[in-house]
Amino acid sequence: MHRISSAARCCVLLILAVACCCPSRGSFAQNRGRQNKRPRDVATFRKKYAELRDKYAASLIELARTCEDDKGLPEAAALIRALAEPIDTTELRLAPLPRHVVAPLPADVSADERFWRSQLKVRQQDHAKELYALSRQALFDDHVSFSLDLVREILLHDSDNVAARRILGFVRSGDEWVSAFEARMRKEKKVWTDNFAWLPEDQVERYQQGKRYTNRRWISAEKDADLHRDFANAWEIKTEHYRVRTNHSLEKGADLARKLEDFHELFFQMMGGFFNNSSEVQALFAGNAAKPGTRQPKQHVVHFYRTRDEYIATLKQLTKQPIEITKGIYFPDSGIAHFFFDPESDDDSTLYHEATHQLLSGSRPMTGEIGMKSDFWIIEGIACYMESFKRDGERFTVGDPQHGRLQAARMHFLNEGYYVPLREFTRMGMVAFQSIKKPEIAMNYSQGAALAHFFMHYDDGRYREALIEHLSQMYSPNKATRENPDSLEDLTGVAAEELDRQYADYIRRLGPPTQRTRAPVGANAGP
């Protein structure tokens, strides 16, 4: 789940009042005691978390005041106060996590600086210990995602916390914390390059000079491009979680692989309870799980074609679906996601939409359709929600309230009074949902995205555990569970009518669109 770029390892600052989440690779939560329909409401633990956060913030404010008033250190005071700021809860943010092991303070540091840095470290480590204890309590109560959220936040305060690093799959390599995959690449003397993906370190300079190593010999980049023009001889870029094949260019393939790895990291952290059940995470806490790196993560396959015409011609041989209206598509049977280069657009919403389907479906050893009988809205709703994923420097976000899907749902609700009540919405299976004509089907896709946002973010993430459990059951390898998932009413402990009321209030408060709002694009990423 860890990003392969050379940037700092990251941790999701959950927008739900806690820094976000998720962990170990390759495992998945299948059947989690459905005989007990206890609501997945983490209100009690969220209250405890808020109390710990307030206590921590107060201790930081006290330290900042001491630095400013007693020590005459206004810059240190400002830095400490910034750490006490509350977390925004309107979108999920992936913020850089320290990659390097914290070095001890130099011997010649001033007494005042030693004072405030050591005092800050004590407060941070104490808070990390309290978060660790709370995370274990939450896990004991089967709140897997919330527990993993807390583990991630521990590393925001105590980046060298060995237990948290171990749980999340980090290993120490020299003076850095890296994923087990990156540690293996280092042993093989390979480095990540943004233009060429993973390369033996002794080949990087020649690649930068326009040479390519193909079939055990060096040739020019132009000759290499000619050799890979036919998709049968496409470049293959392998990363920790993806195998990207493309006949566009090596550089474009590397760029696409990096985007997908970034997306993968946030998605797996955000959806911790989908990919791990409580017993698996308890084993991680106890240190009884397999040593990081001993199990090869599954690589998801992506095909990226040089032109739209080639994309259409190839896929028409694979499906009877109207490929001409799509900008990308994922086939569950083959597990392959297909896309093409569009010289007139740099929009990646379809990429992230289909990548969501691929990660959810491809993580489970199952056969058969999903959402055929009911609850199809969440299959497309969560994918439409994830279209809002974006990168800003070394930070990533998802759930921007200004995203086109969400604003479309807001405008349909406020201006046209369009809203399908939750109980009716959840009754629709795939055929019923997709048989609706325009413009209602587009409105339903937007409503699905907005409902996903509501369940992920409402009241600091009150219903996020419930939504993740619902998704986990929808994608269960067990057919009976998959076709009869617990309802969101059962999982939240709240009647559908009350959820409708809460959603109405929530959608009104999303705020009007701004100039940066982008309308949804991509036909098959939602009508």
pTM: 0.86
> 163, 182, 201 — which closes off a domain?
182
Neighbours of 475 (CB within 10 A): 22
Judge whether residue 19 has pLDDT over 50. no
> 182, 208, 229 — which closes off a domain?
182
**Is 232 contained in some domain?**
no
pLDDT value of residue 363: 84
Residue 205's nearest CA partner among 218, 223, 186, 222 is 218
- The stretch 8-18 carries a mean pLDDT of 38
In contact, 260 and 242? CB cutoff 8 Å: yes
Strand 242-246: give its sheet, edge to edge. 235-238, 242-246, 300-305, 336-340, 328-331
For 167, the domain range is: 10-182
**Is 261 contained in some domain?**
no
In contact, 298 and 264? CB cutoff 8 Å: no
Q: Would you state the structure tokens that stand for residue 177, as one six-digit string?
A: 């914390």
Most confident among 6-20, 146-160, 270-284 (mean pLDDT): 146-160
50 against 94, higher pLDDT: 50
Judge whether residue 522 has pLDDT over 50. no
Please give the distance of CA 244 from its chain centroid, rounded to a whole number: 19
pLDDT value of residue 295: 54
The residues, ordered by sequence, that sit 6+ positions from 93 with a Cβ below 8 Å of its Cβ are 12, 13, 15, 20, 395, 396, 397
Q: Are strands 336-340 and 300-305 parallel, antiparallel or unpaired?
A: parallel
Rounded percentage of the chain residues whose pLDDT exceeds 90: 71
End-to-end CA distance of the chain: 31
In this prediction, residue 7 has a pLDDT band, given cuts at 50, 70 and 90, of very low
In contact, 64 and 101? CB cutoff 8 Å: no
> 155, 182, 209 — which closes off a domain?
182
437 against 11, higher pLDDT: 437
Query: What confidence tens digit (pLDDT) does each residue in 343-371 have?
Result: 999 999 999 999 999 999 988 876 678 99
Rounded percentage of the chain residues whose pLDDT exceeds 70: 86
Judge whether residue 526 has pLDDT over 60. no
Please give the DSSP secondary-structure letter assigned to residue 174: T
Cα–Cα separations (whole angstroms), residue 418 to 252, 257, 443, 446? 41, 39, 8, 11
**Is 64 contained in some domain?**
yes
SS3 332: coil
pLDDT value of residue 521: 34
The dihedral sign for the CA sequence 369, 372, 374, 377: positive
25 against 341, higher pLDDT: 341
Query: What confidence tens digit (pLDDT) does each residue in 70-123 have?
Result: 999 999 999 999 999 987 666 666 666 789 999 999 999 999 999 999 999 999
In the chain, the amino acid numbered 47 is K
pLDDT value of residue 10: 41
pLDDT value of residue 367: 64
Query: What confidence tens digit (pLDDT) does each residue in 382-405 have?
Result: 999 999 999 888 788 899 999 999
**Is 276 contained in some domain?**
no
pLDDT value of residue 287: 82
Neighbours of 205 (CB within 10 A): 10
**Is 354 contained in some domain?**
no
Q: Would you state the structure tokens that stand for residue 340, as one six-digit string?
A: 């093409």
Judge whether residue 12 has pLDDT over 60. no
**Is 313 contained in some domain?**
no
pLDDT value of residue 263: 95
pLDDT value of residue 34: 47
Cα–Cα separations (whole angstroms), residue 318 to 233, 312, 321, 351, 372? 19, 10, 9, 20, 22
Query: What confidence tens digit (pLDDT) does each residue in 137-174 have?
Result: 999 998 998 999 899 899 999 999 999 999 999 999 99
**Is 248 contained in some domain?**
no
176 against 270, higher pLDDT: 176
**Is 502 contained in some domain?**
yes
What is the maximum alpha-carbon separation in the chain? 75
SS3 168: coil
SS3 8: coil
Cα–Cα separations (whole angstroms), residue 225 to 37, 162, 213, 231, 403? 57, 46, 12, 11, 37
Integer Cα distance of 275 and 225 in angstroms: 39
SS3 content of the chain, % helix, strand, coil (to 5): 50, 10, 35
Query: What confidence tens digit (pLDDT) does each residue in 427-465 have?
Result: 999 999 999 888 899 999 999 999 999 999 998 888 999
In this prediction, residue 27 has a pLDDT band, given cuts at 50, 70 and 90, of very low
Judge whether residue 25 has pLDDT over 70. no
Q: Would you state the structure tokens that stand for residue 211, as one six-digit string?
A: 């040479």
pLDDT value of residue 277: 81
The residues, ordered by sequence, that sit 6+ positions from 495 with a Cβ below 8 Å of its Cβ are 489
pLDDT value of residue 1: 35
How many structural domains does the chain have? Answer: 2
Query: What confidence tens digit (pLDDT) does each residue in 191-220 have?
Result: 999 999 999 999 999 999 999 999 999 999
* Mean model confidence pLDDT for the chain: 87
Q: Would you state the structure tokens that stand for residue 64, as one six-digit string?
A: 């900042």
In the chain, the amino acid numbered 190 is K
Hey, what long-range contacts does 30-38 have (CB within 8 A, 24 or more apart)? 30/277, 30/364, 30/472, 30/476, 30/477, 30/478, 31/476, 31/478, 31/481, 32/142, 32/277, 32/278, 32/469, 32/472, 33/142, 34/473, 34/481, 34/486, 37/486, 37/490, 37/491
Judge whether residue 268 has pLDDT over 70. yes
Q: Would you state the structure tokens that stand for residue 54, as one six-digit string?
A: 């307030």
Q: Of how many residues is the chain composed? A: 527
The residues, ordered by sequence, that sit 6+ positions from 516 with a Cβ below 8 Å of its Cβ are 402
269 against 341, higher pLDDT: 341
Question: At CA 89, angle to CA 359 and CA 159, rounded to 5?
Answer: 75
Judge whether residue 292 has pLDDT over 60. no
Question: At CA 326, angle to CA 353 and CA 440, rounded to 5?
Answer: 75
